[in-house]
Amino acid sequence: MTENEFIHIVPQLRQITLQISQGYGVGCDEAEDIAQDAMLKLWAIKDDIQSAAHAKGSMGCIAKHLCIDFFRKRKMISIDAQPFDKSPSHYAPPDVEVENSENELWLQKRLKTLPSNQYEVLYLRQVEKKSFEEIAQIVGITTESVSVLLSRARKQMLQEIRKRCR
C-alpha cells in the first residue's frame, strides 16, 4: 500500500478503532489513546498491507489487542512481600493467621525458585509497577524479552498454585 492510499483511508481506520475500543467499554479519552497507538502500529507495517480491506482487518485486530492491554494494565496485582494486613486493629482468628503465614512462606519459596531474570522482571512489573520499557532499560534487554520473561514467570507461578490447590 502506498503512502497516499494509506493517508486516504486513515479517517476510516481511526473510526473503526474508536468503535472497537468503545465497544470493549473503554472511555472516550482512552479510546483516543488506543486509536493513536493503533495508527502508529499500522503505520509501521504499512508496506506489508496489500489493500484497504487488509488495513481495516489489521486495524480491528490491533485495536482489540490494545484494548486487552489497556485492561490488563488497569488490573495489576501486587506480589508485595507483605500482602496480609498485620496491623493491631485487624485481628484474625488464630487458624486464619497460621494459614496466611503458611501461604506467605509458600509463595516466597516458590518465587525464589524462579530463574533470577524471571524473578527480577516479575518483581519490577508487579511490585515496582515499572513499564515494559523501563524494565528493559534496567535489565538491559528488549521489551519483547521482558514480555516473554514475565509471561514465563507468571505461567510457572500459576502452575505451582494449581499444583498446590489439587
- The string of pLDDT tens digits covering residues 80-117 is 555 555 555 567 788 888 888 898 899 889 988 999 89
Q: What is the pLDDT of residue 27?
A: 85
Task: Provide the pLDDT for residue 136.
Answer: 92
Q: Report d(CA 20, CA 125) in Å as an integer.
A: 28
Tracing cell 485486530 back to the chain, one arrives at 61
Q: What is the mean predicted confidence (pLDDT) over 125-153?
A: 92
Confidence tier at 155 by pLDDT (50, 70, 90): very high
What pLDDT is recorded for position 83?
A: 53
CB distance 18 to 31 below 8 Å = yes
| Threshold 0.85, pTM exceeds | no
Note the pLDDT of residue 74.
76
Residue 156 confidence class, pLDDT cut points 50, 70, 90:
very high
Q: Which domains does the chain have, with CATH numbers?
A: 3-74 (1.10.1740), 94-165 (1.10.10.10)
> Residue 152: its pLDDT value, please?
94
Residue whose C-alpha is closest to residue 101's, from 82, 114, 80, 88 = 82
Residue 153: predicted pLDDT: 93
CB-based burial, 5-43: b 16+ in 10 Å, e otherwise: ebeebeeebbebbbebbeebebeeebbeebbebbbeebe
Distance of CA 97 to the CA centre of its chain: 32
Backbone angles phi, psi at 30, to 5 degrees: -65, -35
C-beta of residue 35 within 8 angstroms of C-beta of residue 21: yes
At 62 the pLDDT is: 92
User: Look-up: residue for cell 500482602?
Assistant: 83
Question: pLDDT at position 148, please?
Answer: 93
State how far the Cα of 83 lies from the Cα of 85, in Å rounded to an integer.
7
What secondary structure letter does DSSP report for 46? Answer: G
pLDDT, tens digit (0-9, with 9 covering 90-100), for 44-88: 888 888 888 888 888 989 999 998 888 888 766 556 555 555 555
The CA R_g of the chain, rounded to the nearest whole Å, is 21
